[in-house]
A and B are shown apart, each in its own frame.
Chain A
Amino acid sequence: MKNTGLTIGGSLILPACYYEPAPFRFFSREEADCLIAVCECIIPADDAPGATDAGVIYYIDKQVMGPFIKFQSIYREGLAALQKDCYKTMQYKFEDLPSDQQIKFLERMEGNHETLKSWNAFQPSQFFNMVINHTMQGFYGAPRHGGNKDYMSYRMIGIGYPQITGQNRYGKGDSNG
């Protein structure tokens, strides 16, 4: 941001805090924190990177403003319902749970468990299946769409990048984000 100070009476007063530009195009910070935690359960980091490292959240955030625009409301409603049920049944926000508890909660979503009561237009499993799918795309797809930072999943698999089979033309569209 350019306008970080105000000039009053000839002296420059720096503000006590400054506005951080919103890091996401669609998700609020709270939604993103929850979704990042869900994605990390789907592809967890170990000695190889996980969904958070690869920037899967940026993939999803970018696509719901484009080809996945039809999924905006299911993300908004689904994350709210997930968080509500999580707080009711586990007494914590999803992202604040230890990972074994997160996994247990997601398994309940997978099976549409009876304790999940905040879901209306769609079932918890439908929402979770969509997130699984998008997480896989963000982790294993091309970096130009926001995820798979520096082709880290390709390197994990051992197929390397860039390809060396007879071509050298990766200038266009390959940069992250």
Chain B
Amino acid sequence: MDNNKYDAIVVGAGAGGGVVAKQLAVGGMTVLLLERGGWPVYDEHINDELISQRTWVLGTAFGPDGEKNPRVIVRKDGSHEVIGPTDGWDYNHIAACVGSGTVSYGAMAWRFMPEDFKMRSTYGNVTGSTLEDWPLSYEELEPYYEMAEWEIGVAGDDTQNPFAPPRKKSHPMPPFEYNREANVLKKAAVRMGLHPFPIPMLRNSVPYNDRAACIRNRTCCGFACPVDGKNGTQNTTIPRAIQTGNCDLKTGCKVTEILLDDSDRAKGVRYFDVNDKGTEAYADVVVVAASAIESARLLLNSKSKLFPDGAGNNFDWVGRNLQGHAYTGAFGLFDYEILDYVGPGASLALCDYNHHNEGIIGGGLLANEFNRLPYLYTGIRPPGSRRWGKEHKDFQRFSYLKNSQVVGPIQEMPVFESRIQLDPAVKDHWGMPVPAMSGERHPLDHEHCKFLSARAEEILIEAGAVETWQSIGGRGGPSGGQHQMGTLRMGNDKKTSVVNKYGQVHEIDNLFIADGSVFVTGGGFNPVLTIMAIGYWVGDNIVNIWKGTGLKS
């Protein structure tokens, strides 16, 4: 691995890139894995709610650094506002560290359902949406889901879920036991004829892969794990990639451009190292896995004679169709402490409302919510409640452990005008134009949220809640958040997509994308296991092509 020349360069060491790097390294390719953040350290922010990946009023626990990474949000009136990661949700940040969001996520491990790959065929055309089928089917991706489940580690048992997609092999670890809240909700859901089951989780229900079992820490979602019982790429595939001897991981490296030659090839990348020294590295293959906003930004900032508007962007699809998940659901107050406050909180789910509901396109899972820490809970009140004073304090004091939340991610309708572009004026610490995010959600998202919230409330009422209220999402935008997807769409037609079904950028044979960017649609599920599966899928395809012929220089 001399002279900055590798067989492959992978940009981004998260859920997708961390897997691709390992597949390539094990497949015999030399790999440079570049990550803009550093290694996550639990002890720095421990269980501090105000500096976590769930509440970030004083900063994000695992990045990105706000000073160096401003973004621009384009408001409805066309004005451009510069924002940082601690300025609410508009920034749409994803952790910048080795493992990225997989260090601090809630770790739900969902396979998408077959319909999620065939949304257009299943539901038809949707006005105002670019709803489309994936060129890849569930059946094709199934073996790669299995790889993710077994190598990274998932605890679950979907035999109780009649809507679970077909699988060849069971989960490698038994499911977690229900917490107190889930036991109550389960009985109610069963009485209603629904089909609850334990949430599949990328956490160890038993010791696995030489790491400890989960200790049911109450600060799980939004935090790193103090005993390393939560599974991400930082403690599985990335160390394995490095162990092969084929993979160099360089942290603190900000990639600003994919170097393209005058024809149809990528040559390497330009990046700033941990000391902010500008440098270049070269490879036969470049894989971008920097998350939906940053991956699209990088392609837009990589221009050549053949691609004057950015790599893969000759048909103006790069950065389009930015999607996330509107969360929607209901709260229920009980007259006893329904929460036992055992981590992570989320324990039970049902998929009865993911597909085939009258008048609903897609839908979403429902689950009980991850533990809400005290500051986050100060914003949770029944409609019309006072926001301060004794009434607010009493509600905090007396309802905290009596309040159950049933909630889920709605499958959003992709919108062509929800997008990221390079901001014409604002540049980041390294002089790279920042992403400008604009657009709005499809109006159907809010309608679908109303449907799902009403179902959530029914369950809470049946479970015996003495007071319930809905919280209905799906308005505003652009969407994105920590589930950001869709900006480098996968498709067969180069005029209406950016990559082919193998993650290969149309017309640039040695440039691949392997993260949530390639999603055509986002499912009604947390996307991470599908991003990991895409990582295995794209990685294996690269190794096959590279070994066969084409890409070796």
Contact = CB atoms under 8 A, between A and B. Distances in A.
Interface in B200-236: 215-219, 226-227
Contacts of B216: 165-166
A144 B45 CA distance: 10
A140 B374 contact: yes
Contact of A166 (B50, B215, B397, B401): B215
A82 interface: no
A137 B378 CA distance: 9
Contact of B387 (A132, A140, A144): A132
Contacts of A167: 215, 217, 226-227
Nearest to B343: A165
Nearest to A41: B389
B396 interface: yes
A165 B218 contact: yes
Contact of B378 (A50, A136, A145): A136
For A43, A67, A136, A145, which residue has the most chain B Cβ atoms within 10 angstroms?
A136
A141 B47 contact: no
B493 interface: no
Interface in A48-102: 48, 50, 63, 66-67
Contacts of A114: none
Contact of A163 (B59, B218, B227): B218
Contacts of B59: 67
Given A142-B49, A153-B374, A167-B215, A137 B57 contact: yes
A137 B50 contact: yes
Contacts of A172: 43, 46
Contacts of A154: 374
Interface in B30-85: 43, 46-50, 57-59
Contacts of B89: none
B58 A173 contact: no
A13 interface: no
Contacts of A156: 397
B315 interface: no
Interface in B393-433: 393, 396-397, 400-401
Contacts of A140: 49, 373-375, 377-378, 396
Contacts of B375: 136-137, 140-141
B272 interface: no
A44 B390 contact: yes
A57 B390 CA distance: 19
A145 B58 contact: yes
B97 interface: no
B163 interface: no
Given A157-B374, A159-B400, A103 B46 contact: no
Nearest to A161: B47
Contact of B58 (A43, A67, A136, A165): A67
Contacts of B373: 140
B111 to A, nearest CB: 30
A143 to B, nearest CB: 10
Interface in A26-48: 41-44, 46, 48
A137 B48 CA distance: 11
A4 B109 CA distance: 65
B333 to A, nearest CB: 15
Contact of B341 (A137, A142, A159, A174): A159
Contacts of A142: 47-50
A163 B58 contact: no
B47 to A, nearest CB: 7
Contacts of A169: 43, 46, 226
Contacts of A158: 400-401
Contact of B389 (A66, A103, A153, A163): A103
A18 B373 CA distance: 44
29 contacts: A42-B389, A43-B388, A43-B393, A48-B393, A63-B58, A66-B58, A67-B86, A103-B389, A132-B387, A135-B388, A136-B378, A140-B373, A140-B374, A140-B375, A140-B396, A141-B48, A141-B50, A142-B50, A156-B397, A157-B397, A157-B401, A159-B341, A159-B374, A163-B47, A163-B217, A166-B216, A167-B217, A169-B46, A172-B43
Given A145-B58, A163-B217, A169-B46, 11 more contacts: A42-B388, A67-B86, A140-B378, A141-B48, A142-B47, A157-B374, A157-B396, A158-B400, A163-B218, A166-B217, A167-B217
A-B CB proximity, top 9 nearest:
A166-B215, A140-B374, A136-B378, A42-B388, A140-B375, A141-B50, A142-B48, A157-B400, A67-B58
